[in-house]
Structure 1
């Protein structure tokens, strides 16, 4: 059934209406003249809206009624499509130009509701599969039998204490997320080192990814069906104890073992060497941290390569982190002076820093200078790993910063294992 004719042109016969349409689209006719000719009492700009729609060969997808096309303004391009609508059920199909619009007929509304429900079902099903796989791949079930100190290597013990102290969570089981770069948590000296620490503890079964507490966006299911996770988006949980009290007891036992040097038997074989290696590692990491700070402070690029690492490692064989940091500061300062004097690029100036550090180290050793290092910069607080390592595991305190890493300082023999 065709749409009703507007009352303002109801006095016209079908033939007159057909002629009216033809006259309207003949641009040689003025609209005011057309209104006068057909005795239509409306403003000229309203005439198009009175024109009856044209019927098309298309049918409504819901009620199979004929679809009608609205009349375009005669000033619009002839190629511009107009909306189609069903006069029977009110369904509308918008022209491409208005494809962003939404039909609100009863059928379309119901279809969207069903589609949204199905989409939600599929999304929930997908999330359940992802979380289940994530728990299986990256998580660990909480043990019925708790870990003991004998289940930890000494490096893992240091890392675990650092992680637990850096955690912002009150719970000893649910740890939440950790931030990169030590922005909030300050676990280690860099994002890379924090990533390695989290992965090492996860691989050791000490912590796991809390798949069912993590946002689904923390996981990525690749096109090849490989599941991975974003290390700083997922939530973590400890998996070494079945409850809070047991976890607290174990952490206290580890702290006491370090504090009293009453090491478990298996730490006594290579624990000193492991702590020495850890001391060297984080002396280098802190040196790199300060190198970045002093270069970026002077707007020089930070891009350490094998040469820089070799120079710093060599310096730390004979000097403390405190002394090496002073050498880094002097080399960075000299690089800026060189750039200003010679007019070289910032990159060129930064490339002179490793060589300058090496020369400072060689000169101090050759001259036998009493080379006093720097105090810590208040803008560069110690990471939690360094705190645990220097203060608790090594029991060196500030000497961990002002002493060159050496095995002798670590090898103070611990007491015998209490179990012996």
Structure 2
């Protein structure tokens, strides 16, 4: 064993030659506090490659700090290389790997306990299917179709599903999941990854929405039985008649989201980023009172093309060019209405397929083939509601 200021060297081999070699690597100049020799000089003089020399030192010696010790068990800090020694921070508390693992295990247990408590409370307060809001029935069924496990016992983490869309916009997906959670329709599954859960100073759990598993909370129902009951519930003609206002609201939201998603995609094709605000949403909502989503997408595409042409002429930033899409869309709509032009409907873009929620509402509940894209919602719903009485 050899000691230097701040460093204690332990030899794992009795061979004097190997000990001397390891000593040259770890030797510190007492006057300067720096290593006495460079690594390159040592391995060249010993006719070794750098990797061979480093592996040899690691295999036959260990270097410990004489100053830094674990604040929990007093185990000294082990240096693997010179870099570890040079980059040490003696002013910071140190935890050895074993103690850090023990502390993390204790934190994970505390997280799990908080989630189990919240889960048990949510299950105790669960309501029967008949007491859920119609929109929550639709949202829950869509979420089960989108991310339900194979046995439908739980809902997989959102980050693990990327083959299709829950709603037309990713940010709306989060709002949908959050609404179900706040309403007590779903709860964080206790089997969620502990890394997806954090504890604040008051030991309250905070979850990462994208990474936790979810569990449906419906009194007396779960798994396949819940899925089947939801399917039957929303497919009844009486569901549409009784819940028409909420279904209409969902349809209007989907139509707006479809247009915003298309605008985002159209601008992205020209490498123009844009985040729609209240003004853009208000204009699109007004357009949807007159045209279908497919027709509004036609006008939006032309507005995006005009913004791209404006940028290509030069003298403006991408951000400024993208913001002109709102004014361009407004002018095109005004001309279209004033001249009573016929707006050709766009076909659905392959890169913007119908979302799971849209398929559930328009295809399953309303019995159309993507009807919300090709027809105005008021026309579609008016025809379907009037049909049974004819």
Q: Please give the TM-score of this superposition, normalised by the length of structure 2.
A: 0.72
- Find the counterpart in structure 1 of residue 32 from structure 2: 79
Task: Give the secondary structure class of the aligned counterpart of 2:233.
Answer: helix
Tell me how far apart the structure 1 counterparts of residues 387 and 102 of structure 2 sit (CA, whole Å).
59
- Contact 2:371–2:380 under 8 Å retained in 1: no
- Seen in structure 2, the aligned counterparts of structure 1 residues 120 and 341 have a Cα distance that, compared at 3 Å, is closer
Q: Report the RMSD for the aligned CA atoms in angstroms.
A: 3.9
Does structure 1 residue 331 correspond to structure 2 residue 303?
yes
Please tell me whether the aligned partners of residues 148 and 154 of structure 2 are also in contact (alpha carbons under 8 angstroms): no
CA distance in 2, matches of 1:251, 1:72: 73
Q: Bigger CA drift: 248-257 or 367-376? A: 248-257
CA-CA distance at 1:280 after TM superposition? 1.1
CA distance in 2: counterparts of 1:403 and 1:219, whole angstroms: 43
In 2, the alpha carbon distance for the partners of 1:273 and 1:341 equals 47
Residue-by-residue CA offset, 1:63-98 (whole Å, 9 max, x unaligned)? xxxxxxxx968xx4623279xxxxxxx997547899
Equivalent in the alignment of 1:235: 213
Q: Which moved more, 1:297-306 or 1:388-397?
A: 388-397
The answer to whether the 8 Å contact 1:188/1:194 transfers is: yes
Which SS does the other structure have where 1:188 is aligned?
coil
The structure number with the bigger radius of gyration is 1
Q: Distance in 2 between matches of 1:72 and 1:125?
A: 40
> What corresponds to 2:152 in structure 1?
172
Q: 1:283 aligns with which of 247, 255, 263?
A: 255
1:231 deviates by 0.2
Change (3 A) 1:412 1:360: same
How far apart are residue 99 of structure 1 and its match? 6.5
Deviation, 1:175, is 2.0
Deviation at 1:347, TM superposition (A): 1.9
Alpha-carbon spacing, 1:363–1:376, altered in 2? closer, same or farther (3 Å): same
Of 176, 186, 190, the residue aligned with 1:197 is 176
3-state SS in 2 of match to 1:228: strand
Question: TM-score, normalising length from structure 1?
Answer: 0.67
Q: How many residues align?
A: 326
Q: Deviations over 1:191-244 (max 9, x none)?
A: 221111112222333221102x11111011234544210001101122224443
Higher relative helix content: 2
Q: Write out aligned runs for 1:108-257 (5 A).
A: 119-137=100-118, 142=123, 147-148=128-129, 150-167=130-147, 169-179=149-159, 183-211=162-190, 213-223=191-201, 225-240=203-218, 241-257=220-236
Instruction: State the secondary structure of the residue aligned to 2:128.
Output: coil
Matched, 1:312 2:284: yes
Structure 1 residue 407, shift from structure 2 partner: 7.2
Q: Report how far residue 360 of structure 1 moved.
A: 1.6
Change (3 A) 1:72 1:254: closer
d(CA) in 2 for partners of 1:344, 1:117: 57
Aligned match of 1:8: none
Over 3 Å counting, the alpha-carbon distance change for 1:124 and 1:185 in structure 2 is: farther
Offset of residue 349 of structure 1: 1.6
Mapped to 2, the partners of 1:117 and 1:341 lie a distance apart of 63
- Shift in Å, 1:310: 1.7
Instruction: Say if 1:95 and 1:165 are closer, same or farther in 2 by CA, change over 3 A.
Output: same
Question: Alpha carbons of 1:282 and 1:139: their partners in 2 closer, same or farther (altered >3 Å)?
Answer: farther
1:386 aligned residue (358, 366, 380): 358
Matched-pair contact (CA < 8 Å) for 1:176–1:235: yes
Counterparts of 1:200 and 1:153, CA distance in 2: 12
Mapped pair 1:412 → 2:385: yes
